[in-house]
Structure 1
Amino acid sequence: MRNSNTALLVFSLSLQEELKNKAFFGQHNLGKSLSDNTKKIANQSGLPVLYFDEKQQSGVNFGERFSNALQDVFEAGYDKIITIGNDCPLLDVRHIQQAKKALDNNGNAIGPTTDGGFYLLGISKDDFDYHSFLDFSWNTALVYQEALDNIIYSNPSCTVLEELQDIDFLSDIYNISTRYILNEALRKSIHAIQKFASPFYSPSDLTTLQFLQQTPFNKGSPLPFLIQL
């Protein structure tokens, strides 16, 4: 029996699918470290945790899959959802706790990423507009602002968490400071990739080495494309 009407929804691809879309996730077990870190944080949250990977997701595009996942969790009887992905190494349990506090106080919460997406969304059933979510500009730098505007329109009480960087490109790994990553295995994975990359590429060089992917990433981050100069 549930002891909370707030669910933690982990919306992401399985590790096998992530490796198809982000080849560099295989380097130094980065993908596994990110996945393990997300599971650890989820367990620490004290909330009921629901995992939606490609097997549970339904829809023809990211907007449909994400909106359907939220709708499915609400229909399962939860009144509030905090949803995260598995590609934000700086995420920790305090961000989930901050979102839970906002929801407990009849508000909502959102955590923006540096690329215009979001790494966390805390929303109540009363403030979730399924059809509006379908129409967001997913996989663009506009989606965070669109989501924030929509949520505030429904409920002006919205907590904006600190801005964090997620990992969509090799250049994102290069730019992350491992100093603030709490998980030791994840920190070592990222540091090992940085150590390999830094003698050969500048940050601007790394930005041109993107990876082609057909399936949109978590939380509507902009799509990467293969560009080699």
Structure 2
Amino acid sequence: MKTRLQTKLTGEEAAQIQLELLKDGFLKFEALKNKGIDLFLAYSDGAKSKSFFEIIPDGFEYFPQLGDTIGDRMDHAMKTIFAKGYEKVVLTGSDIPNLNQKIIQDAFDKMEEVVIGPSCDGGYYLIGSTYSIDLSPIFQTNIGWGKQNVLQETIALIAKRKLYVLPTLKDIDYPEDLVEALKYSEKDNYFFNQWLKENRGRVK
């Protein structure tokens, strides 16, 4: 649940936005399976509704997020997938409208040790590594998750690693981000764009 959207929107509206972004993500990234990239979804407690599970397409494995902090949950997700035998794992958020197949493909192709995708708010929308690199010390560090210096602190902690930096993208955290999204959201965000169109008056 995107609680920071609820300064102007209801909890139901915030949940609907999350749902539309997820549906777009499923459509955009499903083809990656044909390129050797397996897809997994780590869901939060707030997503365990019937409507949520109904939108997950066949071929997407899913498991619950575990942990008290964002770092804990990312650490658990990375370890869960590496335990399945994968050599490279990439984590990304579901609230980045202009995240596309090329960026995900580049994350895997350009990764030597670590890859990161900065977000405009000082955090990052994507992080990934090879099996030989343990990111747990970073995830378990007392980083101010959700603050403007998360990216800077994370990069400082992986300074000795071979790092590839992806393009900077905007995510959806606050009502103002929805206003901006009206200007930049790409056309393949069908469900999200439809929501923006129908609720334009709500996000001015």
Distance in 1, Cα, partners of 2:72 & 2:171: 22
Q: What are the superposed Cα offsets for residues 123-144 of structure 1, whole Å, 9 maximum, x if unpaired?
A: 1122223123211321211111
SS in 1 for 2:127: strand
Percent of residue pairs bearing the same amino acid type: 23
Q: What is the total number of aligned residue pairs between the two structures?
A: 177
Amino acid at match of 2:40: L
2:44 corresponds to 1:54: yes
Match of 1:160 in 2: 165
Q: Residues 166 and 125 (structure 1 numbering): CA distance in 2 closer, same or farther, change over 3 Å?
A: same
Aligned pair partner of 2:148 in 122, 141, 149 = 141
Q: How far 1:114 moved relative to its partner?
A: 0.8
Amino acid at match of 2:29: A
Q: How far 1:62 moved relative to its partner?
A: 1.9
Distance in 1, Cα, partners of 2:96 & 2:79: 24
Distance in 1, Cα, partners of 2:25 & 2:156: 27
TM-score (ref. length: structure 2): 0.76
Q: What are the superposed Cα offsets for residues 169-223 of structure 1, whole Å, 9 maximum, x if unpaired?
A: 101111222453422222222233334433xxxxxxxxxxxxxxxxxxxxxxxxx
The within-5 A match list for 1:1-229 is 18=1, 22-23=5-6, 24=9, 26-27=12-13, 29-46=16-33, 47-54=37-44, 56-103=64-111, 106-135=112-141, 136-153=143-160, 155-156=161-162, 158-176=163-181, 177-178=183-184, 180-198=186-204
Kept after mapping to 1: 8 A contact 2:4/2:174 = no
Distance in 2, Cα, partners of 1:152 & 1:40: 35
Cα RMSD for the two superposed structures: 2.3
Q: How far 1:26 moved relative to its partner?
A: 4.2
Kept after mapping to 1: 8 A contact 2:21/2:189 = no
Q: How far 1:119 moved relative to its partner?
A: 1.0
Unaligned ranges ≥5, structure 2: 46-63
Q: How far 1:45 moved relative to its partner?
A: 1.8
